[in-house]
Amino acid sequence: MNVFFYYYCNMNFDKIIDRTGTNALKLEFRERLFGTNEVIPLWVADMDFKTPKEVAEAIRKRAEHPLYGYTSRDEEFYQTIVNWQKKRHLWHVARDWVEFMPGVVPTLIMAVQAFTDEGDKVVIQPPVYPPFFEVIKDHGRIIAENPLMNTKKGYRIDFEHLEKITSAPEVKMLILCHPHNPVGRVWNREELEKLGSICLRNDVLIVSDEIHADLVHGDQPHVPLASISTELAENSITCMAPSKTFNIAGLNTSYIIVPNEKIRRAMQIKLQAYHLFTGNMFGAEALKAAYKYGEPWLEALLEYIKGNVEFVLDFVEQNMPEIEIHKPEATYLMWLDFSAWGLSDAKLRKFLIDQAGIGLNYGPTFGSQGKGFHRLNVASSRKVIEKAMTQLLEARNQIM
């Protein structure tokens, strides 16, 4: 039997798994974020699906040994990453380019501190993942926005504006979101080449957050920025992790790929300075198992996510066509534009919580470009997504 077919038939993504009592962030933070626990939580970017059984078995096997002291990562850890990049993204990565990191956001902080000074500017492209703002301003750097253009055909990079702002000498870094969260774009080779050439010309280091690289379900494949050319490889830090892909974010295992030895060494020094290099022993075992055995599970997952995306698009088109959504090319996140309802952001948020009973991510936290938007996480059972959409429609019909 075909391995993918086996997983597709036997991995029951439709099953609703009760996460009560597991300290799940998406449940425990509802009162804090929404003022009530009576909302369907479709906000934080993790999934309500079981991780691949091989990953759970690897963790269980390690847990059977009764000592949980300090551990290091073996050569298999690094070689598994090299093999995954070659197989999944056609990127030939040298073993020495890879370094462990405790998480992508801590990595961004270390990069900002290692390669910029207080008062320097760092470019981001909103609407974008909220921590991008925080890792800059919380450390005395200045945010330089290169807002994405919302066109009828989807979001696009404003290259003319990017050229203008990166030409300023105080701009030292660009943090790229690829694939983009929340708009779901998978930047194509031409777009990456344009962005890369602008940054090279203006001596701007690119830190590319590619944590959603494996979650592509559109026609455009993910192209790692650093795989495009030697020049871009030498001027970039690529941040990746198995966390989003295999639903193991709680294990705090990510990594960077940095061909430039000088840049890589600077990141290693920061890692050492903060004593974050030991990592999580279960995370290391989970990564190895996921990358070695998890691909069939991933292919089945992508089909299911694609189905959930199509369901939401069809439901909205048939019942609430005034809500605008660009079909995402990757991730399990959807960026919903409620602007046509004419509600203020505060009233829209209150309506979604109190009337629709759904907990989504508040658009303005992704930048001023998020006015009128909310982010929806569709990585749950289809039944849950159907219930959320039905509640939204029923609430909407009361005001329109």
State pLDDT tens for residues 189-208. Answer: 999 999 999 999 999 999 99
Please indicate, yes or no, if residue 279 is contained in any of the structural domains: yes
Look-up: residue for tokens 């391995």? 3
Q: Are 302 and 4 in contact (CB under 8 A)?
A: no
Higher pLDDT, 396 or 9: 396
pLDDT band at residue 384 using 50, 70 and 90 as cut-offs: very high
The pLDDT of residue 399 is 85
- Tracing tokens 């009233």 back to the chain, one arrives at 347
Write down which residue in 271, 293, 315 finishes a domain. Answer: 293
**What is the structure's pLDDT at 400?**
81
Which pLDDT value is given to residue 3?
A: 52
Query: Do 134 and 202 fall within a single domain?
Result: yes
- Yes or no: say if 196 and 206 are a contact pair by the CB < 8 Å rule: yes
Q: Is there a contact between 240 and 213 (Cβ–Cβ < 8 Å)?
A: yes
- DSSP helix/strand/coil, 132: helix
The parent domain of residue 207 ranges over 68-293
Q: Where are the beta strands (DSSP E) in the chain?
A: 40-41, 98-101, 121-124, 142-145, 149-151, 154-156, 171-177, 205-209, 236-240, 254-257, 324-325, 333-337, 358-359, 361-362, 373-377
Check pLDDT > 90 for residue 175. yes
Domain boundary among 276, 293, 310: 293
CATH number at residue 229: 3.40.640.10
Domain count, the chain: 2
Task: Tell me: do 331 and 185 sit in the same domain.
Answer: no
How does pLDDT run across 8-37, given as a tens digit for each residue? Answer: 455 789 999 999 999 999 999 999 999 999
β-pair partners for 99:
256
CB 379, CB 13: distance < 8 Å: no
Distance of CA 281 to the CA centre of its chain: 23
Is residue 284 domain-shared with residue 323, that is, in the same domain?
Answer: no
Question: pLDDT (tens digit, 9 = 90+) per residue, 268-321?
Answer: 999 999 999 988 999 999 999 999 999 999 999 999 999 999 999 999 999 999
Place 1 in a pLDDT band, splitting at 50, 70 and 90.
Answer: very low
CATH assignment of the domain containing 365: 3.90.1150.10
Collapsed DSSP state (helix, strand, coil) of residue 151: strand
What is the b/e burial string over 207-229, where b = at least 16 CB atoms within 10 angstroms of the residue's CB?
A: bbbbbbbbbbbbeeebbbbbbbe
**How many Cβ atoms from other residues are within 10 Å of residue 179's Cβ?**
25
pLDDT, one tens digit per residue, over 136-174 is: 999 999 999 999 999 999 999 999 999 999 999 999 999
Q: Do 33 and 83 reside in the same domain of the chain?
A: no
Question: What percentage of residues in the chain have a pLDDT greater than 70?
Answer: 97
Q: Are residues 177 and 317 in the same domain?
A: no
**Mean pLDDT computed over every residue of the chain:** 96
Position 12 scores a pLDDT of 85
DSSP string, 287-323: HHHHHHH-HHHHHHHHHHHHHHHHHHHHHHHHH-TTS
* Tens digits of residue pLDDT in 367-379: 999 999 999 999 9
> What percentage of the chain reaches a pLDDT higher than 90?
95
DSSP 41-108: E--SS--SSPPPHHHHHHHHHHHTSS--------HHHHHHHHHHHHHHH-----GGGEEEES-HHHHH
Instruction: Please indicate, yes or no, whether residues 41 and 178 belong to a single structural domain of this protein.
Output: no
- H helix and E strand count, the chain: 16, 15
| DSSP classification of residue 251 | G
Does 322 lie in the same domain as 360?
yes
Is residue 58 one of the residues assigned to a domain? Answer: no
In this prediction the pTM is 0.96
Residue 59 lies in a domain: no
Number of other CB atoms surrounding residue 190 within 10 Å:
9
Q: Are residues 232 and 135 in the same domain?
A: yes
Domain endpoint, select from 257, 278, 293: 293
Whether 347 shows a pLDDT value over 70: the answer reads: yes
258/299 same-domain check = no
Asked if 254 and 243 touch (Cβ cutoff 8 Å), the reply is: yes
| Interatomic CA distance for residues 239 and 92, integer angstroms | 16
Same domain as 141, residue 219: yes
Question: Measured between alpha carbons, how far is residue 390 from residues 227, 319, 330 in Å?
Answer: 43, 10, 24
Torsion of Cα atoms, 365 then 256 then 378 then 154, to 10°: 70
When pLDDT is cut at 50, 70 and 90, the band that residue 4 belongs to is: low
- Half-sphere exposure (CA, 13 Å, Cβ side) for 84? 25
285 and 308 inside one domain: no
Same domain, 28 and 109: no
